[in-house]
Amino acid sequence: MSTTVSEVKHLIGTEWVASSDGDTFESRDPHDGSLLATVARGTADDGRAAIAAARTAFDDGPWPQMSPKERAAILHAVADNVDEHRDELAQLETRDGGKTITQSLHAEIPRVAHNFRFFADYVAMAGNEAYPDGDLFSYTLYPPAGVVSAISPWNAPLMLATWKIAPALAFGNTVVLKPAPQTPLTAHRFAELALEAGLPPGVLNVVQGFGGDAVAGPLTSDSRVDRITFTGSSATGVKILQAAAANHTPVSAEMGGKSANIIFADADLDVAVPKAIRAIFGGNGQVCLSGTRLLVQNSIREEFLERFTEEARNLKVGDPKDPASFMGPLIEEQHLEKVHGYVELAQEEGGKIITGGERLTGAEHKDGFYYPPTIITGLTNEARAAREEIFGPVETVLGFDTEEEALRITNDSPYGLAGMLFTQNLDRAHRMAARWKAGTVWINTFFERDLRLPFGGEGISGLGREGGQYSREFFTEPRAVTIRLQRSGADHD
Ligand code: NAD
């Protein structure tokens, strides 16, 4: 089993190619800075070439013309090949992005295969509406939209890339994927595996590199692109929406979050404490859905905080390849500095650090970008550290007395991605879910997903929804067909 990829090129049509100007960049392991691969640094010309390949595969190739069942057979073969290479992909993901091996192996790479199986079957099984109405017979068709640009982030690289690619392909589109420059490896290896499994050439193209004027430029501004699906920060989302507007290209954008995790006094703390730990420190704190604002009812605040802090202090932060590690390194130096900058800002804003708050520099951590679980109290919801996305293992803890107050604080945010609520009062849970400004609300749990449900965010967290029928709306051009039937067939025999 190979767990290294030393040279990463673009996949354009049938060819693995270097960048048009030969430029490259390096992908390094955030645990120890070792060089993992030299990566083609895509130019705008590379982006345009990939779009042309995807366009040809869509306009002239068999993929959009295949029946959903024919496509599903190939997409299942892709999923099977991912499963067969699960260990290799998990190792690559962990080395490239610092995600713990436990998470890569048991959550993210299995979800890659699930993304493919789910959408292959969803499309094959989905029905169309039909409305017989006297002489009129109307129905809906869902032809594929065309060429899809998929732009993905570094924090769950292949899981999120395939959350876009799988539905786009299943509905009959062709794709140009641009992974994040911090984590190019698994997309590269995945594309090899997909071709090996029988995906026709040109149906999936992968370009590597950066945003703005580089390779991602044409992906958002070329008129030959029919859909843009983006996951990343809210700031980048604005730029993509502006670029897409010139061609009226529809955009689905899954962006940042600042989700509240609300713990009521009647919560089962044996459930709530470990879930709250997972909700903020899982994924090294670099998860869009994280419960970053912990709201604890004042009557149990002390008891909860004691248990929560104790568990946080005991988490093993270390080499992500070690199955005992709960957290690995942050993605890169610059990001660590941003996270630490927010911790310093929180102190200036009156916050008190209960645990963490300084970069880890011990023997195991000295060559990596390690930051400990950090808990901050004493802030109000007006503090910038409590309002802005930190995207690191930093929890700000706020108190509340009543349900109404908890809801007011929760919804007082420009973000609206997700939320968590721990209570044994189901009436309250339903009441709050109905009034919560968030695309997803979890009650007594966290991070569990049914891919049939809508996924996305309100406010600056998102535009549109994906998942099940919502992905169908986005990745197809729903078309109304109406036939006037002849009253009698006599004249037409
Ligand atoms: P980012 O916005 O910096 O980059 C995301 C992707 O966009 C990368 O591939 C990047 O190269 C590309 N990009 C950057 N500028 C571009 C431009 N002008 N045009 C086109 N593409 C451009 O985000 P990131 O730092 O990689 O990821 C972290 C962010 O992603 C966080 O804000 C996090 O909350 C968010 N996120 C959201 C979800 C969700 O489902 N809502 C999931 C994961 C991550």
**For residue 210, what is the domain's CATH number?**
3.40.605.10
Nearest CA to ligand 1 atom 40: 254
Do 152 and 50 reside in the same domain of the chain?
A: yes
| Ligand 1 atom nearest to CA at 335 | 25
Residue 480: the pLDDT is 97
pLDDT at 138 over 90: yes
Angstrom distance (rounded) from CA 168 to CA 146: 9
CA proximity to 208, closest of 154, 252, 254? 154
Among 99, 186, 233, 258, name the best residue to mutate to test ligand 1's pocket (greatest count of ligand atoms within 8 A of Cβ): 233
Pocket of ligand 1 contains residue 180 by CB under 6 Å = yes
Instruction: Flag whether 455 is in a domain.
Output: no
Do 129 and 48 reside in the same domain of the chain?
A: yes
Place of tokens 């968030």: 438
The band of 1, judged by pLDDT with boundaries at 50, 70 and 90, is very low
pLDDT tens digit sequence for 282-308: 999 999 999 999 999 999 999 999 999
pLDDT tens digit sequence for 175-186: 999 999 999 999
Do 166 and 271 reside in the same domain of the chain?
A: no
pLDDT tens digit sequence for 13-50: 989 999 999 999 999 999 999 999 999 999 999 999 99
Q: Which residues contact 203 (CB under 8 A, 6 or more apart)?
A: 54, 57, 61, 63, 169, 174, 175
Between the CA of 204 and the centroid of ligand 1 the distance, in Å, is 20
Instruction: Flag whether 416 is in a domain.
Output: yes
Between the CA of 241 and the centroid of ligand 1 the distance, in Å, is 13
Average pLDDT, the chain: 96
Give the mean pLDDT of 60-88: 97
The band of 487, judged by pLDDT with boundaries at 50, 70 and 90, is confident
- Give the total residue count for the chain: 493
Which residue, 398, 416, 443, sits at the end of a domain? Answer: 443
Do 286 and 435 reside in the same domain of the chain?
A: yes
pLDDT at 453 over 80: yes
CA torsion sign, 230 to 232 to 235 to 239? negative
Pocket of ligand 1 contains residue 155 by CB under 6 Å = yes
Angstrom distance (rounded) from CA 200 to CA 52: 15
Phi then psi dihedrals of residue 31, to 5 deg = -75, -40
Among 27, 115, 239, 288, name the best residue to mutate to test ligand 1's pocket (greatest count of ligand atoms within 8 A of Cβ): 288
Do 94 and 166 reside in the same domain of the chain?
A: yes
The continuous run of DSSP H or E covering 30 comes out as none
| Ligand 1 atom nearest to CA at 236 | 2
The band of 159, judged by pLDDT with boundaries at 50, 70 and 90, is very high
Between the CA of 151 and the centroid of ligand 1 the distance, in Å, is 8
Give the number of other Cβ atoms within 10 Å of residue 428's Cβ. Answer: 16
Do 405 and 427 reside in the same domain of the chain?
A: yes
**For residue 438, what is the domain's CATH number?**
3.40.309.10
Instruction: Flag whether 493 is in a domain.
Output: no
Residue 4: the pLDDT is 65
Between the CA of 96 and the centroid of ligand 1 the distance, in Å, is 17
Instruction: Flag whether 357 is in a domain.
Output: yes
Residue 203 carries which side chain, given as an amino acid letter? V
Pocket of ligand 1 contains residue 220 by CB under 6 Å = yes
Pocket of ligand 1 contains residue 154 by CB under 6 Å = yes
CA distances from 94 to 164, 184, 344, 459 (A): 21, 12, 29, 32
Instruction: Flag whether 452 is in a domain.
Output: no
Residues spanned by the domain of 370: 260-443
pLDDT at 2 over 60: no
Do 433 and 287 reside in the same domain of the chain?
A: yes
Between the CA of 251 and the centroid of ligand 1 the distance, in Å, is 14
CA proximity to 101, closest of 282, 324, 320? 320
Instruction: Flag whether 42 is in a domain.
Output: yes
CA distances from 311 to 53, 304, 355, 365 (A): 51, 11, 11, 20
Pocket of ligand 1 contains residue 241 by CB under 6 Å = no
Share of the chain above pLDDT 90, in %: 96
pLDDT tens digit sequence for 203-254: 999 999 999 889 999 999 999 999 999 999 999 999 999 999 999 999 999 9
Domain tally, the chain: 2
CA proximity to 309, closest of 383, 397, 406, 370? 397
DSSP letter, residue 445: -
Catalytic residues, by residue number, are 254
Instruction: Flag whether 334 is in a domain.
Output: yes
Residue 466 carries which side chain, given as an amino acid letter? E
Do 283 and 343 reside in the same domain of the chain?
A: yes
| Ligand 1 atom nearest to CA at 417 | 41
CA torsion sign, 332 to 93 to 110 to 204? positive
Do 107 and 237 reside in the same domain of the chain?
A: yes
Tokens of 116: 């493919």
Instruction: Flag whether 220 is in a domain.
Output: yes
Between the CA of 291 and the centroid of ligand 1 the distance, in Å, is 19
pLDDT tens digit sequence for 327-342: 999 999 999 999 999 9
CA distances from 365 to 183, 318, 362, 371 (A): 20, 7, 5, 9
Do 238 and 157 reside in the same domain of the chain?
A: yes
Give the mean pLDDT of 54-78: 97
pTM, two decimals, is 0.96
To 10 degrees, what angle do helices 109-125 and 86-97 make? 120
Residue 492: the pLDDT is 55
CA distances from 473 to 139, 145, 163, 457, 469 (A): 15, 10, 15, 16, 6
Do 232 and 284 reside in the same domain of the chain?
A: no
Do 53 and 200 reside in the same domain of the chain?
A: yes
